[in-house]
Amino acid sequence: MAFSDHRAQEEPARRPKGRANGQNTGNAVAESDNIVVETAEKIFADLADPQTINNDKKDSWQAPLWQALSEAGLPLAWVPDDLGGSAASLADGFALLNAAGRFAVAVPLAETMLAGWLLAQAKIASPEGEMTVLPASPKDRVTLDADGALSGRARGVPFAKAAKHFAVLVHSKDGVSIALVDAAKVRIEAGLNVGYDHSDTVTLDRVQPVTIKPAPKGLDQTNLMLMGGVVRSLQIAGALESMLDISVRYSNERVAFEKKISKFQAVQHNLARLAGESAAALAAATSAADAIANAKSFNDEVYLEAASAKIRCAEAAERGGGIAHQVHGAIGFTMEHILHRYSLRALAWRDDFGSESYWAVELGKLVANRGADELWPLVASR
C-alpha cells in the first residue's frame, strides 16, 4: 500500500523519504518536504479543524477524517509493504504524530500506528480498521494459557471502544509473544480520560487470538512502554505548540483597559514561560524520537532519552496548560473555546504508557544500577 496524496491531483506522487526499516538520519520530526507529513497536515487542515470539531456535537467529523487517513495509508505507516502497510520510516511516523498533536486529533491514529508497529515486529500482517495496543500500563499483564488462549486485564487502554482489533504483548513461561486479537471477543468497560476520549478497561477471558507469534529477541513490555511514551511525548509537544499559538493570537486580539493584553508585562512573562515549556517539550520529544529512529535496539541510551522525554513532556503539559488558561482567563475554560481540546488532551496523554512519576522511579533505578561512574558516560552518550 503506497501513500496516496490528499493534495491537488496534478502534483506527482512521491514515496516517503527514509528507509523502510526505520533507520534514518537527522532530526526525526524536523520540518521536511516528505509526503507523509505533508499529506497528514493537509488532511488535518481540511477535516480536523479544531473549531469545526468543537462545534460538532454528533462527532460526524470522525468518519470522513478516518477514511481520508486510511486512504492515504497513514494509520499503517509503520507497517512494511509485505504486511499490508505503507513502509514509512520511524522518523516519518514520528513527524506525523507530532503533527497530529498540533491538531489534538481525537481518533486512534497514534494507537493504530503503534499497534501496526508492534504486529510488524512479529511479522504479523495488520488488518484494516482502527487498532490499539495492550497493555497500555506497565503494571498490567496478558498471559498465554496452556491451550493457547489469552487471559488478563488491561486498564486505561486508549480508544479500546473504537478498535476493531488489538495488538497484544503476551507473557508466557516460554517468553514474550505478540498476538492479534479480534475486539469482538473481549470484554470492554468504557471509560473516559480527562480529555473526554475513551480510556477503557479490556478484559481477556481465555480469548483465542487471530494470530500469535514469538516476539523478536529483546522486545519486551518495557520497550513497548518506551515506544508508546515517545509517541505521547511527541503529541504533547505538538499540542503545546498549538496552545502557544492560540495564546499569542488571543493576547493580540483581547483588549483590556484600552490596550491589547499582550502589552501587559505579566502576560508577556506568561507567554515567555509557555514558549519555554513548549520548546523544552519539543526538544525532549524530538531527541527521544531521533534516538529510537537511529538505534538498532532499545539500549540504555534509548531508555534514558525516552523516559526523560515522557517525564519532561508530562511536566510541560501541566505547566503549559495552566499558563495558557491563565492568559485566556475565564473564556479558556468554556466548552465553546478550543483551548481545552489541547490542554485536557495533553494532560490525559501524561498517564498513557506510564506516568512521569513511574518513569522517574524507573530512570532512577537504571542510573543507580549502573553506578556513579557510569552516570556521565550515559548522559553524554547522546
- On whether the 221-379 domain is CATH 1.20.140.10, my answer is yes
- The CATH label, of 1.10.540, 1.10.3470, 1.10.150, 2.40.50, for the domain at 1-122 is 1.10.540
For CATH 1.20.140.10, the residue range(s) in the chain are 221-379
- Per CATH, the number for 131-215 is 2.40.110.10
pLDDT in tens, 200-232: 999 999 999 999 999 999 999 999 999 999 999
For CATH 1.10.540, the residue range(s) in the chain are 1-122
Q: Is the peptide bond before 216 cis (omega within 30 degrees of 0)?
A: no
48, HSE (Cβ side, Cα atoms, 13 Å) = 23
Name 314's Cβ contacts closer than 8 Å, sequence gap at least 6: 236, 350, 355, 356
Residue 178 has pLDDT above 70, yes or no: yes
All three cell numbers of 164:
476493531
Looking only at the bridges linking them, the beta strands covering 255-256 and 259-260 are: antiparallel
Task: Quote the CA–CA distance of 304 and 367 in Å, as a whole number.
Answer: 9
Name 173's Cβ contacts closer than 8 Å, sequence gap at least 6: none
Q: What is the DSSP string of 58-73?
A: T-TTHHHHHHHHHHTT
For the chain, the straight-line distance linking the first and the last C-alpha, in angstroms and rounded, comes to 35
pLDDT in tens, 245-284: 999 999 999 888 889 999 999 999 999 999 999 999 999 9
Helix (H) or strand (E) holding 180, with range, is strand 175-182
pLDDT in tens, 344-379: 999 999 999 999 999 999 999 999 998 888 888 888
Residue 21 has a pLDDT of 37
Q: What is the DSSP string of 21-46?
A: TS---S-TT-----HHHHHHHHHHHH
For CATH 2.40.110.10, the residue range(s) in the chain are 131-215
Task: Quote the CA–CA distance of 321 and 181 in Å, as a whole number.
Answer: 37
Q: Tell me the Cα Rg of the chain.
A: 21
User: How confident is residue 2, by pLDDT bands cut at 50, 70 and 90?
Assistant: very low
CA angle, 327 as apex, 324 and 328 as ends, to 5°? 90
